[in-house]
Structure 1
Amino acid sequence: MPRAFEDFRIGDVYELGSQKVTQEEIVRFARMYDPQPRHLDDEDLIASGWHVTAMFMRLYADEVLRHAEAEVSPGVDELRWLRPVRPGDVLTGRVTVVGVAASLSRPDCGVLQQRGEFLDEENLPVMRVMLYGLMRKRGG
């Protein structure tokens, strides 16, 4: 049974799993969406922050949204890329519920506020973001 709005509590942590970053993916993403030299140069290749965010979003969608009564997102805040991501890095994602509130425009839903983080192998954050999501209430 999918998680409804009422199933989320402040302080809940959801582990999203890990993603290994490859040189091929970095270059493929950069060529399509962010063709800056730092994302295409073999000598000191780093992943685009947008690529890192997209990888995080995939894990979040698979581990949280797919198992929830998710509607839409009214947006994100505080997206930060804190450290460069290089080929071979393994990133681990997690989200923590930091706020729950009734929706002012949708009585059948509530709004979740979650802090998302992507951590490297040393458990240091490479990306942080504040996520907002509209979740249906049980029986709503």
Structure 2
Amino acid sequence: MIEPMYFEDFVVGQVTEAGPVAVSEADIIEFGKQFDPQPMHVDPVAAVGITGGLIASGWHTASLTMRLLVTGRHYQPAPGTVGLGFESLKWLKPVRPGDTLRLRVELLAVRASTSKPGWGIITNKMITLNQHGEPVQEMKSSAIVPMRNK
């Protein structure tokens, strides 16, 4: 079993990577039909005139990023760790059928919580890359993490 990571275990500059995950035309259309039914996500013919072909919804890319973050971890978050939200989310390049994505996470900041003793806040930059190493999405997010001896 992997030991849980507490606030004290996080160091600014830490980098982790996860992936890959392949994105198929069927995946794009299925997600689009359920959650973002715009023509460029669900209709390959209509998408040609709009975006030069079918593209994944940005929300699909964000969901795949979250999956890579959770399933690709090389550590176990300490019990009670919870995401606080996103400071930014940018879609930089379309994700197309046949793309393969991977995730790079860099720890930007760690600080003790001022309102919750025994807890700390970590801030990450998550960059989702395609098979060519091109960034397709960038997110900055924070989580609250318990201290080991809270």
TM-score class, shorter = over 0.9
Runs of 5+ consecutive residues of structure 2 not aligned to the other structure: 46-52
Q: Could you tell me which of 84, 91, 105 is aligned with 2:94?
A: 84
Displacement of 1:65 after TM fit? 9.0
Structure 2 CA distance for aligned equivalents of residues 111 and 65 of structure 1: 20
Matched residue type, 2:56: A
Preserved CA contact (<8 Å) 2:5 2:75: no
User: Any idea what the Cα deviations from partners look like across 1:25-50, whole Å, max 9, x if unmatched?
Assistant: 11111111100000012231100000
**1:27 counterpart residue number:** 29
Deviates more, 1:55-64 or 1:96-105: 55-64
Q: Could you tell me which of 51, 59, 71 is aligned with 1:50?
A: 59
Structure 1 CA distance for aligned equivalents of residues 85 and 75 of structure 2: 18
Structure 2 CA distance for aligned equivalents of residues 5 and 45 of structure 1: 42
Name the count of aligned residue pairs.
Answer: 140
Displacement of 1:13 after TM fit? 0.2
CA RMSD of aligned residues (A): 1.5
Displacement of 1:87 after TM fit? 0.7
**2:125 counterpart residue number:** 115
TM-score, L = length of structure 2: 0.88
The sequence identity of aligned pairs, in percent, is 37
TM-score, L = length of structure 1: 0.94
Q: Report whether the alignment pairs 1:5 with 2:7.
A: yes
Following superposition, which runs of at least 4 residues in structure 1 exceed 6 angstroms of deviation?
Answer: none
Structure 2 CA distance for aligned equivalents of residues 3 and 100 of structure 1: 13
**2:111 counterpart residue number:** 101
Relative to structure 1, the CA distance from residue 131 to residue 35 in structure 2 (aligned partners, 3 Å threshold; closer, same or farther) is same
